Structure 1
Amino acid sequence: MKLFPFKKRIIKSFLIKSIYNVFLFLPLQKNKVLFASDSREEMSGNFLFVYKEMCRRNLDLDYYFFLKSSKRSYTELIKLTYHLATSKYIFLDDYYPIVYPLKIRKDAELIQLWHAVGAFKKFGYSRTERCEDSQLNSKDHLNYTKAIVSSKNVINFYAEGFGIKKEKIIPTGIPRTDIFFCEDYKKNKRQDLYKQYPFLKEKKVITFAPTFRGLGKRNAYYPSDILDLSELYNHLHDDYVLILKIHPFVKEKFKIPEEFKEFVYDFSNYREINDLLFVTDILITDYSSVCFEFSLLNKPMIFFAFDLEEYIAERDFYYNYSSFIPGVLTRSTEEIIKVIKSGNFDLQKIKPFVEHFYDHRDGNSSKRVVEQLILKKINC
């Protein structure tokens, strides 16, 4: 008998929870650290920075990694369940449905190193008024023992979004932003990118990095025809190149006409967008949290929010969008071109934006995560 995907998920969840409860009879291994992700295929982002910091300190810890796999066997699922039940520290960096039905052991830590910076569009339980009844009964996020944020100013939003107490939200700063304060890293990364992609050095770089539309990963899309590549080419190709960094949830690629292939380049498969920001002169985004990282570079941003009212109705924001964004609001390709040609980017908005969303601007967020959440040096 063929099972529908929904029934398969229910059965798998029941089996994992049952096996997990058996493994709870085993002792907790106080030196075991588990990194688990359904979005990363390799160690990168916050995971990598925290892991490197723990290794740098030569801590007496054993590390285990369960990263994204196209298809995970039942043997691997049992191994993962064993490690979830016996690890002292479990690190997540995104939504991770396998762990939410599980009761975390009294002396264990389930730590969410959330991939986004700041607080922008509403997520999790902040969206309950827009959720279906089945989502209202969800257990997602509720079992985190700790979560990190970039600033004390967003603690309330993350506590609400995750459905956990404010005391569990720690403003350590976001580890993967440490590179924005390391001049050697930025210089070397620029050199690497210029060597690999010489065209990035020949002209100024505009990076187009919008978020997806749709309810989630399964039906994510972006209306590529809304951005007029022909108009951008006609007005900007002499001085600029345009690189596309479309959200990984979006499977349908932009169709780049042959005549634009020395102006438009698709970098959507390039994993770390932060590295691309170091060679970016102008960022065009919409509702993506990439604006938080880019603000640290004090460079121009254009917000292409052609569907703002619709997005507010469906998703909404923690702040008033128009006054919140550290750049210029546009609704058409023509307006984007006008802003770039005029050079009027409202750069004065960036400094107060950074000060509000970053308590620490020192490149030591990875250290604080390890010290405050692993070594328990709360006031370091």
Structure 2
Amino acid sequence: MKLKKIILDVILSFFRLFLVFVKVDPKKITFVSLEHDSLAGDFRLISRALEKENETELDKYHLTYLLTKFEKTLWGNIQYFFTCIKQLFVINSSALVLLDYNNYVVSKFKRKEVKVLQLWHATGAIKQFGNMVDRDYKINNYDYVISNCEYFVKPYAQAFHVKEEQVMVTGIPKTDRLFHKRKIEKDRNAMYKQYPELKGKKVVLYAPTFRGRLMQGFRDGQVNLDKIIEQLGEEYVILYKMHPLLADKTIDTHHHVICCNGMSIKKLFSVTDVLISDYSAIIFDFSVFDKKMVFYVPDIEEYAKSPGFFVNYEQEMPGAICTSEQAVVDAIQAEDEYQEKRKAFRDKFFAYQDGKSIKRVVALIDQIMGGKL
């Protein structure tokens, strides 16, 4: 990465000379992602809301999109260089830039008058990330960051190199759906229509996070789902969804183990009786359903050292912590003793449980664009 970074710095420094001819559009809001090549998650919800504002107030905002899915290949690296050059000009002609992951151009080459709002893609953070871990470049130049609760204000300030007062507790727009029972029921019916074999079964969802980093590549946590389902028996079905960064990976072949990598995690939640996860932030989302969670973390000692945790993992997790597949089976079959801990967990990490986070985030954007922040 060092050589790539040097080359990229030289190229962007050269093109930055031409920014003297580029003016900031006071109405321009740019959505920037290197993880998605189409609008997804919070980006999709916020874009729709801002488009509605444009309908009621003509030409209020100029919405621009720079959405690219980075691939760790030779061609992907070449595309990344060209994407960064394009970002340099689009970002620095915007009044406001919205990010869902971190961004090199923003951190190194952003104009002061351009505002940046980090809409971090996760509801919370169990593992340390950002500037709290060893990384290829230091995150810089963010103006605002949204958070789901007060607990993450300090960790986010550290991770994104901002002051605590720059972290805004608004809630996360994509979690709004979790608090609408009709939408959950609609998702459940859609799942049963697509997978009728789930009816009458106990559904276990395995959804781990990734290990590794963007430029070095990613890997998953190792688990033998065939072994687990064989011990659970015919009354169970296991669905699994890998982290989006590992969406091409499939595992195991048992007829009661189903790959759901292309499906929305919210839809999968609607039919899930037990969640198996690890250090993934989806556990915050699933806590809304008040259903059993099991934590399969055979690498917990290694993970505690690097990247490390933002929470006291063994104290905070509202479910059995397992380091073997047999322990996972035992925990799934055991009586649920974590109801009170799940409620405390949910209340601690969700400042708002009203399904209106999108309104708060759009109001924040309006304030930024109106010069009131």
Letter of the structure 2 residue corresponding to residue 372 of structure 1: L
CA–CA distance in structure 2, aligned partners of residues 7 and 21 of structure 1: 22
Spell out structure 1 runs of 4+ moving beyond 6 A.
none
Please, which of 244, 251, 254 is the counterpart of residue 248 of structure 1?
Answer: 244
Aligned to 1:350: 342
Which amino acid is the alignment partner of residue 52 of structure 2?
R
SS at match of 2:210: coil
Between the two proteins, the alignment pairs up a number of residues equal to: 360
78-87 vs 291-300, which deviates more?
78-87
The 5 Å alignment of 1:200-279 reads 200-216=198-214, 218-224=216-222, 227-250=223-246, 253-257=249-253, 260=254, 262-270=255-263, 272-279=264-271
For 1:239, the aligned partner's letter is E
**Structure 1's 125 and 78: CA in aligned 2 closer, same or farther, altered over 3 A?**
closer
Q: Write the letter of the residue equivalent to 2:112.
A: R
1:195-244 C-alpha deviation (Å, 9 max, x unpaired): 223233342211111122335563322253xx333432223232111011
Cα 1:282/1:218, change in 2 over 3 Å: same
Structure 2 unpaired stretches of 5+: none
Deviates more, 1:167-176 or 1:47-56: 47-56
What is the CA deviation profile of residues 133-167 of structure 1, one whole-angstrom value per residue up to 9, with x for unaligned ones?
Answer: xx5xx653211011100012210110011111112
* Aligned CA distance change for structure 1 residues 43 and 220 (closer, same or farther; 3 Å): same
Q: CA deviation at 1:329?
A: 1.2
Matched, 1:63 2:70: no
Change (3 A) 1:238 1:363: same
The whole-number CA distance in structure 2 between the counterparts of 1:47 and 1:252 is: 23
SS across alignment from 2:220: coil
Q: What per-residue deviation string (whole Å, max 9, x for no partner) do you get for residues 9-28 of structure 1?
A: 43233323432442254321
Q: Which moved more, 1:14-23 or 1:142-151?
A: 14-23
Amino acid in the other structure paired with 1:267: C
Counterparts of 1:104 and 1:50, CA distance in 2: 24
* Structure 1 residues 50-89: Cα deviation after superposition (integer angstroms, max 9, x where no partner): 1122123335111111112455387765443321111111
In the alignment, which residue of structure 2 is the partner of 1:333? 325
Structure 2 letter corresponding to 1:179: R
Deviation, structure 1 residue 96: 2.1
Q: Following the alignment from structure 1 to structure 2, what is the Cα–Cα distance between the partners of residues 201 and 300?
A: 19
Structure 2 matches for 1:53-202, cutoff 5 A? 53-58=49-54, 59=57, 60-69=60-69, 71=76, 72=79, 78-106=85-113, 108-127=114-133, 131=134, 135=135, 139-202=137-200
What is the aligned-residue RMSD (CA, Å)? 2.5
- Which letter does structure 2 place at the counterpart of 1:336? V
Pair 216,339 (structure 1): closer, same or farther in 2 beyond 3 Å: same
Structure 2 residue 308 is the aligned partner of structure 1 residue 316: yes
> Where in structure 1 are there 5+ consecutive unaligned residues?
none
- SS of alignment partner, residue 221 of structure 1: strand
Cα pair 2:131 2:138 within 8 Å, conserved: no
Q: Shift of the alpha carbon at 1:342?
A: 2.0
Asked if 1 retains the 8 angstrom alpha-carbon contact of 2:240 and 2:257, the reply is yes
1:292-311 matched pairs, under 5 angstroms: 292-311=284-303
TM-superposed CA distance for 1:295, in Å, is 0.6
CA shift, 1:294, in A, is 0.4
Please tell me whether the aligned partners of residues 24 and 85 of structure 1 are also in contact (alpha carbons under 8 angstroms).
no
Mean Cα displacement is larger for which, 148-157 or 235-244?
A: 235-244
**Distance in 1 separating the partners of 2:192 and 2:9:** 46
SS state of the match for residue 360, structure 1? Answer: coil
Matches of 2:215 and 2:265, distance apart in 1: 19
Following superposition, the deviation at residue 95 of structure 1 comes to 2.1
Partner of 1:49: 45
Whether the 8 Å contact between 2:241 and 2:259 is mirrored in structure 1 is yes
Per-residue CA deviations over 1:169-209 (Å, capped at 9, x if unaligned) read 11111111111122232222222222223233342211111
Deviation of 1:254 after TM superposition, in Å, equals 4.2
SS of aligned partner of 2:123: coil
Give per-residue Cα distances to partners, 1:308-345, cap 9 Å, x unaligned: 11211222112211111121111211111112222325
Partner of 2:328, secondary structure, is helix
Q: Does 1:23 align with 2:19?
A: yes
Conservation of the 8 A alpha-carbon contact between 1:217 and 1:249 = no
Amino acid at match of 1:231: K
What residue is the counterpart of 2:30 in the other structure?
Answer: 34
